[in-house]
Structure 1
Amino acid sequence: MAEGFAKQLLSANWQVASAGIETHGLNSLAVKVMAEKGIDISQNQSKLIDPQYLASCDLVVTLCGDARDHCPVTPPSVQKLHWPLIDPAQATGTRAEILSVFRQVRDEIEIRVQKLSNQ
C-alpha cells in the first residue's frame, strides 16, 4: 500500500520500491482497499532486500515492528523512518472487521506519505 501511495503522491525524483526481509504474495485485501482509492497495486511485487540494496537507498521506511526489528543494518548514510503501524494481514474477525483494519492502515499510510511529499 505504501508503494502505491508513494508512486502516486511523491514527485518523479523519488525511486520507490517495496521490499522486505522475506517476499510474500500480494494480499488481495490490500489490492481491494487501494482500488477504493483509485490506485491499482495488483501488479506490484515486493523485492527482497539485501545489504547492497540498502546501501543504494537514501531513505528506508519500515512499517511495522517486525520490519523494524529484523531489517538488516543500514549504512549511516541511509535515513531511516519507522511508522509503527499494525500489520493488517494479521487482523482477525469477520471479513468486514478485517477490511476495516486494512482501511485504517491504508489511510494512515496515505497521511504519512503525504507528509513525506511535503518535505
Structure 2
Amino acid sequence: MKKIYFLCTGNSCRSQMAEGYARSILSPDNFEVESAGVETHGLNANAVTVMAEDGVDISNHYSKLIDLDYFNAADLIITLCGDAKDKCPMLPPQSQSLHWPLSDPAQATGTVEEQLQEFRKVRDEIKKLITGLNDYFH
C-alpha cells in the first residue's frame, strides 16, 4: 500500500481537493491518502462547492496540521504550494516528492462567480494531475 500525502500551506483548498480526488480516483486497495498543512486555515467552502459540482464530497474534511508519523512514512509527498510566499515544508529524503505549483484559489478576487471560476480551474488541474498518478507508480 502506497501512502500519499498532499501538503499545502493551510490545508483549506488545494490539498483538500487533491485528497478528495485521490480518494475517488485511486484504488483504496493500493493507496492510502491524506492531506495536511503547515497551518490550519479551515476547509474553504468554495472548495467544497466546486468538488461537489464534479461529484466528489469533501464536506466532511477538515483542516489538519502535518502528522510527522504519516509524513515520515509517506511514499510520495506532493506539495501544492504555488506562490513563493507559501510555506511549503522540507521533505524527508526517503520519500519521493512532486511539486505541483498551483495558484491559490482562495486568493481570487471579484464576484462570487469569478472566484468560483478560479476554484474550478485549479480543481480541473488537480483532477488531471491525480489521474496521472496511476502512471507515476507504474
TM-score scaled by length of structure 1: 0.90
Q: Deviations over 1:55-102 (max 9, x none)?
A: 111111111235996333222111111111100011001111101000
| Mapped pair 1:7 → 2:23 | yes
Mark the runs of 5 or more structure 1 residues left unpaired by the alignment.
Answer: none
Query: In proportion to residue count, which structure has more helix?
Result: 1
Mark the runs of 5 or more structure 2 residues left unpaired by the alignment.
Answer: 1-16
Report the identity percentage. 60
SS in 2 for 1:23: coil
Tell me the residue number matched to 2:127: 110
Please show how residues 20-39 of structure 1 align to structure 2 within 5 Å: 20-39=37-56
The number of residue pairs the alignment matches comes to 119
Task: For 2:84 and 2:57, locate their aligned partners in 1 and report how far apart those are by CA, in whole Å.
Answer: 24
Q: CA deviation at 1:47?
A: 2.0
Query: In proportion to residue count, which structure has more strand?
Result: 2
Superposed structure 1 runs of 4+ greater than 4 Å apart:
66-69
Cα distance, 1:66–1:51 mapped onto 2, change above 3 Å: farther
TM-score scaled by length of structure 2: 0.79
What is the RMSD of the two structures over their aligned residues, measured on CA atoms?
Answer: 1.9
Choose which of 88, 98, 102 in structure 1 pairs with 2:105.
Answer: 88
Choose which of 17, 35, 41 in structure 2 pairs with 1:18.
Answer: 35
